Amino acid sequence: MRPFFRSAHPAGVGGPSRVLFRVAQCVPFVIVLLGLGVELSPAHVVYTGPLLTAMPALASLTMGPLGTLAAAGGALAVSLTTTTLHQAWGGQQIYSNLLGLLVVSVASVTTSNAVRRRRQSELDQVRRIAAAAQEVVVRPVPARLGPVGAASLYLAAEKGAQIGGDLYEAVPTRHGVRMIIGDVRGKGLPAVRSAAAVLGAFREAVHYEDELAGVMNHCAAALRREGAAPGVGDRGEGEVRAESFVTALVAQVSDALVVQVVNRGHPPPLVLCRGKAHALMPASPLLPLGLEDLLTGRAAEPQSYPFAPGDRLLLYTDGVIEACDPGNDFFALPQAMEAAPACTPAQFLEHLHQGLIRHTRDRLADDVAMLVVDRLAQDTAGQAAVAAASTGQRP
């Protein structure tokens, strides 16, 4: 169904600006009611016809065709009611006013509809471009990666876009399956550039760095190079290089029944084991990437946690746990994980997705990225590797 207003949530409009936009949408109807009040008062000698005639045109500036028609209908109802009440039928001015209202209404609805169609076409094009960019920066992970089954989900808070500042990746290597998830400070193109720099470094370093901490160091170096690139400070859009940082977490799942984690200021991953979810808290919290100058402790070292067959590991960004309902209550992620039925990784993420939609009333305030991996049973993983080898494919 077409929306009553041209844009229920105008792109880039928020806070006080959104309130002003809503007020502007109400102005034509307030003026129509004022005109009715004037016509029903002793001041009805003031002729409101020309004022009412302009209401459809005023409504078309902030509303779609249905909203414009509503304003035109209100103006027409007031004109007919007051003309009948004051027994003014037969005057040339009345018919001129009604004809003018008809012409303005038709022109306003036609113009509003044309503008809506053009904006929808432009929005569809932006979405197609964003979808293509998303496939490059945050592409979906394969359903099977060595000893784990996997799935990923990305949701952008920005209406009309499908890409933002969150990032994730999972890559099978000779060391095992290595994963990253991160959250770039800020929004828009600056966040996309930082995310692309970190992901590019990760995709390269995972194959030749023996230590997981070395992979994280490469990501940090790439972010520093991106921030120091010529012209970065002049790119506009509110970029402040000194305030750019990325919370990031890299993890590794190998044949050993553990998961290794290096966490740089990111929300701790959750492991669902035997129906209970628990967080993999770091022993010593570290600052995010980009804030290395403030580090005073020892270098990041990977920490190991049990990860047995049948366990499920969830990496996520803070947009998940900070998602609020109308009562400002946060989304209970551990409870949502425990409530999920037995299902595949992709179905599990869809369950969490629907839970987020219900909790926030489909009004995400921040981007959301989730990456889930299931530790497969040893025989299942072995059969998958044998089948892949027989077909000349990587497991």
Instruction: Show me where the domains of the chain are located.
Output: 16-129, 138-390
Domain 138-390 has CATH 3.60.40.10: yes
Q: Tell whether the model's pLDDT for residue 69 goes beyond 60.
A: yes
Of the ranges 111-120, 137-146, 153-162, 317-326, which one carries the lowest mean pLDDT score? 153-162
At residue 40, the pLDDT reads 81
**135-144, 163-172, 209-218, 356-365: which has the highest mean pLDDT?**
209-218
State residue 261 phi and psi, 5-degree precision: -135, 135
Q: What's the pTM?
A: 0.68
Please state the rounded mean pLDDT for residues 111-120: 87
Q: Check pLDDT > 80 for residue 16.
A: no
Contacts 24+ apart (CB under 8 A), 3-12: 3/64, 3/66, 4/63, 4/64, 4/66, 4/67, 4/70, 5/62, 5/63, 5/64, 5/67, 6/62, 6/63, 6/64, 6/67, 6/112, 6/115, 6/116, 6/119, 7/119, 9/159, 11/158, 11/159, 11/160
Does residue 115 or residue 91 have the better pLDDT? 115
Residue with more model confidence, 165 or 304: 304
Q: Which pLDDT score is estimated for 15?
A: 55
Q: What is the pLDDT of residue 237?
A: 43
Q: What's the average model confidence in pLDDT over 103-116?
A: 89
Question: For position 200, what pLDDT does the model report?
Answer: 92
